[in-house]
Amino acid sequence: MIMIVLIPFLFSACASVGASKSGKSGTLIFPEATMKSVDWTAEDLKQPVAIKNLRTTTQASYMIVRLNESETPHVHENHDLVVVMWKGKGTLFISDSKHELKPGDIVEIPRGVRHWVEKPEKGICEAYVISVPPYDPKDMKIVE
């Protein structure tokens, strides 16, 4: 089952809380502070997709993903994803449907489901992504 929530999420009033590396205290993720702390290097900006890992546990990875170009159709064979659009817009193609994404939209992508995001020619497209189990780039398979 694919879940797409296209109702704006109230970031200013909400935070995502998870265990820190020590596991003893929480980590608050606020879009403005988190986005300011992500330093995209010149090398990151040359990549079609840039990923900044915020933290990884034995169960999941928590990342900021920036599309510098549109993605190609692909699947993640062993990973489930939760994608929260942070900044900019994009067009999500998932299974046989198309959805316009904007900041605050949340998408759940089960493993094995064909998907990709096309970013506008100009502008930024960034998302907070949770990968379960922890992200492994070798798991992504390009499909037609």
Q: Where are the domains of the chain?
A: 3-142
**pTM over cut 0.85:** no
Res. 98: pLDDT tops 70: yes
CATH number for 3-142 (one of 3.40.50.2000, 3.40.50.300, 2.60.120.10, 1.10.1040.10): it is: 2.60.120.10
- Max Cα separation, the chain? 44
Range with the poorest average pLDDT among 1-15, 67-81, 102-116? 1-15
12/126: higher pLDDT: 126
What pLDDT is recorded for position 121? 87
Tens-place pLDDT, residues 8-36: 443 333 333 333 344 456 666 665 655 56
Q: Give the model's pLDDT for residue 22.
A: 40
**Nearest alpha-carbon partner for 110 in 85, 71, 79:** 79
SS (H, E, C) the chain: CCEEECCCCCHHHCCEEEECCCCCCEEEECHHHHHHHCCCCHHHHHCCEEEEEEEECCCCEEEEEEECCCCCCEEECCCEEEEEEEEECEEEEECCEEEEECCCCEEEECCCCCEEEECCCCCCEEEEEEEECCCCHHHEEECC
Q: What percentage of the chain carries pLDDT values higher than 90?
A: 68
Q: Which two tokens stand for residue 26?
A: 């929480």
pLDDT of 142 reads 96
By the 8 A CB rule, do 135 and 54 touch? no
